Chain A
Amino acid sequence: MNKFTFLDGLVAPLDRANVDTDAIIPKQFLKSIKRSGFGPNLFDEWRYLDHGEPGMDNSKRPLNPDFVLNKPRYRGAQILLARENFGCGSSREHAPWALEDFGFRTIIAPSFADIFFNNCFKNGLLPIRLTERQVDTLFSEVEAAPGYRLRIDLEQQIITAPDGTAYKFDVEPFRKHCLLNGLDDIGLTLQHVSEIRAYEAKHRAEQPWL
């Protein structure tokens, strides 16, 4: 997994609530048996004017000029600013894979759906919850200032705006540790094999029908 320590990135605003994982990556792209290559189909239905299917040459498809990520000022954005309940719906990890493959490393929103939130951490993506008021402020600042960037320091758990305003954010210590060090949590869990075996023996003795 990619490490996440510090990011100084361009911000793109996606001003709608309840962005679901079907919108982030539509179902026809879930037929892939690979983990990579989902970036060109991120937000496919909003991003292109035609209907996308796997195997199409996406560079030749007509872009929707009104969709925010197609605006030249947001090209190369690494931070997605979003509204409440981002990532709701299905458990598809193809959603964080697509965001990461597109180039995003952080998503800032007032709230996230649980499974999506969890999936982000497994892929070196940092989802950050700020209050609705703070998110409102960021939306107005991003829209007012082309080239708007934020600096995100995971170690200090601080986001710094161009005017120097600092936003403190929460992250669970264990998840932070894994992101900072790019740790594979299967490897970590396998350090406790004997405890798992011991639990398993006790569990089977108590519930032998399992």
Chain B
Amino acid sequence: MQNNMRAQTLYDKLWNSHVVRQEADGTALIYIDRHLVHEVTSPQAFEGLKLAGRKLWRKDSILAVADHNVPTTGRAQGIADPISRLQVETLDANCAEYGVTEFKMSDVRQGIVHVIGPEQGATLPGMTVVCGDSHTSTHGAFAALAFGIGTSEVEHVLATQCLLMKKSKAMQVVVEGTLGRGVTAKDVALAVIGKIGTAGGTGHAIEFAGSAIRALSMEGRMTLCNMAIEAGARAGMVAVDDNTIDYLRGRPFAPQGALWDKAVAYWRTLQSDEGAQFDNAVMLDATQIKPQVTWGTSPEMVVAVDGRVPDPDGISDPVKRDAAMRALKYMDLAAKTPIEKIKIDKVFIGSCTNSRIEDLRAAASIARGKHVAANVKLAMVVPGSGLVKQQAEEEGLDKIFIAAGFEWREPGCSMCLAMNDDKLEPGERCASTSNRNFEGRQGSGGRTHLVSPEMAAGAAIAGHFVDVSKV
């Protein structure tokens, strides 16, 4: 009881309300409310369930969609790659066999799992949300406890509706002040990672707070929580406020009528209490954050657009210096190169980080009436879902992009991880709104620079990085 008397963090509240039982060493059995499933990390889990002769615990907790392998052009022809096709067909077969709700490739609701969950209202405040995908942290934007799991854990949730885990530490990231023009949630995320490093949040659940976070739309909060995992934190979260409630009202999976009112009353309690203690806290001044561009092969290798590629000779830690030298070689960049001098070959606007309607509007506002530079071989826009695509088309964004020389594609993960045909060729350099700039991530030998949608569109038009806050 004493525990409940103390001021609690949002994370404490979400954790405590889902503990089924606890072992002596603190390992707890945690109940899972929402299980999102995609084609890459689920086949072995369904197979394991079958081989062990176990039943699916609660099919109505699951929402399934194929997103990683799906093509972004020529949908009517199906999937050309037989191995990809088999993986998607396996998901279809498993969902049919177990009676699980699935949005198939032909369904307008199909899209990236972390876009469609919130879009459908399948992600709600106070829930535990899991998916066999590290970017499940995205859903924490709704004050849900949301985190990625491996395939063994997917099977565990299918069979038991629970997970065995220990509570993480709590970290608070406070961003106070007003973001400047052209500075977005993506830049905040990259600035946080630049400050604390890709392992800075390891072992922690991060709550993002402060006036700059409260001023973000739900799309912006999703972008920020999405990147919590790139800071090492399995879960990121933001407290409930009017933005949260307004976003969810009327969504297909959200409660209606009297249940809605009851839910909202509960959801309003989902914030950290005054005086709640965090294990770690980080402060950032929003007015000091500039548009960010990564220069290396880890999201922590990031600088402001008006900066330069760092000089490894200035790094004292030998492991970090070695990593910087290796990254510069892979990225084919010279130390001290001004970021704005870096020319690009391709542009990717999409991914679970930045493919929502607001992202597309922001990119379109930069591209409107301009044209993609001659040195840019391909600039593509991949909406996060069929519904995002539909809305963008109603607003005429597709026409702006197409007139500017961008390709307008079908929804999916696409060139964020290049499991389908959308990929970089060896040596190609890309301005990408995705979340990982690892070696080979967007295609073997490809070079990724992570940026916001505005910065990606700006780079597409100029052919090199430009400071969109000055355009």
A residues at B contact (CB < 8 Å):
15-18, 20, 22-23, 26-28, 30-35, 45, 51, 54-55, 83-85, 88-93, 96, 111-115, 118-119, 122-123, 172-175, 184-186, 188-190, 192, 195-196, 199-200, 203, 207-210
Is B220 an interface residue, CB under 8 A from the partner? no
B residues at A contact (CB < 8 Å):
17, 20-21, 23-25, 27, 29, 31, 33, 40-41, 43-44, 47, 52, 54, 68-69, 81, 83-84, 86-87, 90, 124, 126-127, 132-134, 136, 148-153, 155-156, 159-162, 164-166, 168, 198-199, 202-203, 232-234, 255, 259-260, 262-263, 266, 298, 319-320, 322-323, 326, 417-419, 426, 436, 438-441, 444-445
Q: Is the CB of B31 within 8 A of A203?
A: yes
Q: Is the CB of A27 within 8 A of B417?
A: yes
- Residues in B with CB closer than 8 Å to A185 are 156, 164
- Residues in B with CB closer than 8 Å to A192 are 20-21, 29
Interface residue from B27, B152, B161, B438 paired with A93 (Cβ < 8 Å): B152
Q: Is the CB of A23 within 8 A of B90?
A: no
Complexed CA–CA distance, A208 and B260 (Å): 10
- Residues in B with CB closer than 8 Å to A114 are 168, 202-203, 232-234
Q: Is the CB of A195 within 8 A of B21?
A: yes
- Residues in B with CB closer than 8 Å to A23 are 438-440
| Secondary structure call for the B interface | loop
Say whether, besides A26-B444, A31-B69, A17 and B150 are in contact (CB < 8 Å).
Answer: no
Say whether, besides A31-B69, A91-B149, A190 and B159 are in contact (CB < 8 Å).
Answer: yes
Minimum-distance CB pairs A-B, first 6: A209-B255, A122-B152, A93-B150, A119-B150, A33-B43, A91-B148
Q: For the complex formed, measure the closest distance between the CB of B348 and the CB atoms of chain A, giving whole angstroms.
A: 15
Say whether, besides A207-B263, A209-B124, A113 and B162 are in contact (CB < 8 Å).
Answer: no
Q: For the complex formed, measure the closest distance between the CB of B442 and the CB atoms of chain A, giving whole angstroms.
A: 10
Q: For the complex formed, measure the closest distance between the CB of B31 and the CB atoms of chain A, giving whole angstroms.
A: 6
- Residues in A with CB closer than 8 Å to B161 are 196, 200
Q: Which residue of B lies closest to A112 (CB)?
A: B202
Q: For the complex formed, measure the closest distance between the CB of A68 and the CB atoms of chain B, giving whole angstroms.
A: 14
Q: Which residue of A lies closest to B25 (CB)?
A: A173
Q: Is the CB of B259 within 8 A of A122?
A: no
Q: Which residue of B lies closest to A85 (CB)?
A: B199
Complexed CA–CA distance, A22 and B87 (Å): 19
